[in-house]
Structure 1
Amino acid sequence: MDTDRRLSVRVLRRLFHSAVPGYLALGFGLASLVLVFGFASASMYGVDHGINLIAYWHVPLAIVGGLALTVTFVGCVLYLVTSTRFWEQLAHASGELGFIFATLTLVTGSAWGRIIWNTWWDWSDIRLVTFLFVWFIYAGYLIIYSGAGDGGRVSRLASVYGVVGFITVPISYASTRLWTAQLHAPSIGNPDAEANITASVLFVSLLAIFFLYVYLLGNRVRLHELTSRLDEMKDRTRTKTHKPTGGD
């Protein structure tokens, strides 16, 4: 088991040091722009308006944001089990990106809803309310982690919070099927869905956002590792500087 975990760390570190995710993010990102503005349907929910094109990024941001928060959950669990710093750093880096993607999901959704539903926000919609709750939960995770510093106790507290708080993520994503949604009717597997999204364009945009996430995650984890090395060097230098000399 320990060997498998060490192998997983090595594989992930090799991925994070690779330039491939960045090139894929750039390639699929450009393809997404061309397809969205050149071929995608701008007619949804009975409304023909250019704002509908935002759906091709709103939906992938929501999906990849949920994936990022799932990685945070897994990283928190592995850190609590193994006390390996890499998993803590991975969890925090992915939590930061998940929070950013969740924020962009709320912003793009509000802009889209203002035209389609004639409202920026509707407190009666179960998806909106539960997703906002997820946003607050992970804002709390980042705040707790920011106070961790080099303290293992606070790091473990943040990880426990990340594990427990994750329950809000699947609840939010399943909310439109568990309860009656005011605005967000289920679209996947629902033949009566009014959102006429061009699936192929949506898939390309999803790949673009996914590879962007992997690229940014790798950069953030490497920055974590660099910061840790610098802190260790400072500690060693400080120890040598204050080391008492003989004969005093």
Structure 2
Amino acid sequence: MGSYEGRTIGFLRWVFRSSVPGYLTLILGLASIGLVFGHASKSMYGVSHGINLIAYWHVPLALVGGLALTVTFAGCVLYLVTGTRFWEQLAHGSAELGFVFATLTLVTGSAWGRVIWNTWWDWSDIRLVTFLFVWFIYAGYLIIYSSGDRGGRVSRLASVYGVVGFITVPISYASTRLWTARLHAPSMGNPDAEAAITASVLFVSLFAVLFLYVSLLGVRVHLHELTTRIDSLKNRTRTETYKRTERQ
């Protein structure tokens, strides 16, 4: 492990062990709830309805979910290049969270669409279809990763899959600009958009979800490290037991 890599891992571990992300998650989470129900606009697409408030968590979940999958991509690349176990653990932990956030994005989006557009799903919406494809891709990554022992062929296979599968993420997030978007026209920085969203409330919710991600990622990486240590102790115990049995 190079000195730069070691310092980077040390810094990330320091961030994950810090209580700051947890406190910020709590503070910003409470602020988000208060602002969403007390200040945010309920009017979108010409309809004033309480379900529109779900957008203030739907959008941050989608954005942070994309960030989590980007971290997975970076972790997979670094693991394949260096072989350092930490990057594999970071990639997998982030993929788990990205998958959960992607699931919540689909669920909240479908619930909102059922009320506003009277449909749970619309196959003509390019964003929905491509995001569902991302969901299936990372479900496959998690399945591959859990299909065998860590540290061997399966870990490298999962990492290669995580690198190749990442191409679906930028395609999905850019889909509404690459193709004609009927239901998900960009609302930020687009004066012609029908949707109206209170930017200040959205940013508070975005940072709340971001720090929640950092806090949970720290927990997942720590659990991975504990599992690795336990497996190492088990293997050492088996080896010592086997050697003693042979001597007898």
Q: TM-score, normalised by structure 1?
A: 0.97
Shift of 1:148: 3.0
Cα distance in 1 between the residues matched to 2:140 and 2:165: 9
1:124-163 equivalences under 5 Å are 124-163=124-163
Are positions 1:123 and 2:126 aligned together?
Answer: no
Are positions 1:18 and 2:18 aligned together?
Answer: yes
Please, which moves more after superposition, 149-158 or 163-172?
149-158
Shift of 1:113: 0.7
Going from structure 1 to structure 2, the CA distance change for 1:247 and 1:139 (only over 3 Å counts) comes to closer
Percent identical among aligned pairs is: 79
1:80-119 equivalences under 5 Å are 80-119=80-119
Are positions 1:221 and 2:221 aligned together?
Answer: yes
Please, which moves more after superposition, 186-195 or 21-30?
186-195
1:151-190 equivalences under 5 Å are 151-190=151-190
Letter in 1 for 2:26: L
Cα distance in 2 between the residues matched to 1:205 and 1:44: 18
Cα distance in 2 between the residues matched to 1:99 and 1:12: 21
Cα distance in 2 between the residues matched to 1:150 and 1:190: 46
Letter in 1 for 2:221: V
Shift of 1:115: 1.3
Are positions 1:2 and 2:2 aligned together?
Answer: yes
Shift of 1:116: 1.4
Cα distance in 1 between the residues matched to 2:5 and 2:24: 27
Letter in 2 for 1:154: V
Going from structure 1 to structure 2, the CA distance change for 1:122 and 1:13 (only over 3 Å counts) comes to same
Going from structure 1 to structure 2, the CA distance change for 1:83 and 1:32 (only over 3 Å counts) comes to same
Match of 2:239 in 1: 239
Paired residues, what number? 248
1:175-214 equivalences under 5 Å are 175-214=175-214
Q: List alignment gaps of at least 5 residues for structure 1.
A: none
Are positions 1:41 and 2:28 aligned together?
Answer: no
Cα distance in 1 between the residues matched to 2:194 and 2:93: 36
SS of the aligned residue for 1:119 comes to coil
Cα distance in 2 between the residues matched to 1:192 and 1:34: 29
**CA deviations over 1:70-92 (Å, ceiling 9, x no partner):** 00000000000000000000000
SS of the aligned residue for 1:196 comes to coil
SS of the aligned residue for 1:8 comes to helix
Letter in 2 for 1:192: D
**CA deviations over 1:114-163 (Å, ceiling 9, x no partner):** 11111110001100000000000000000000013235111000000000
Q: List alignment gaps of at least 5 residues for structure 2.
A: none
Cα distance in 1 between the residues matched to 2:155 and 2:71: 17
Q: TM-score, normalised by structure 2?
A: 0.97
Structural RMSD (CA): 1.2
Letter in 1 for 2:53: L
SS of the aligned residue for 2:243 comes to coil
Cα distance in 2 between the residues matched to 1:247 and 1:201: 70
**CA deviations over 1:185-242 (Å, ceiling 9, x no partner):** 1222211111110000000000000000000000000000000000000111111111
Residue pair 2:42, 2:48 contacting (<8 A) in 1 also: yes
Letter in 1 for 2:41: S
Cα distance in 2 between the residues matched to 1:80 and 1:38: 48
Letter in 1 for 2:75: G
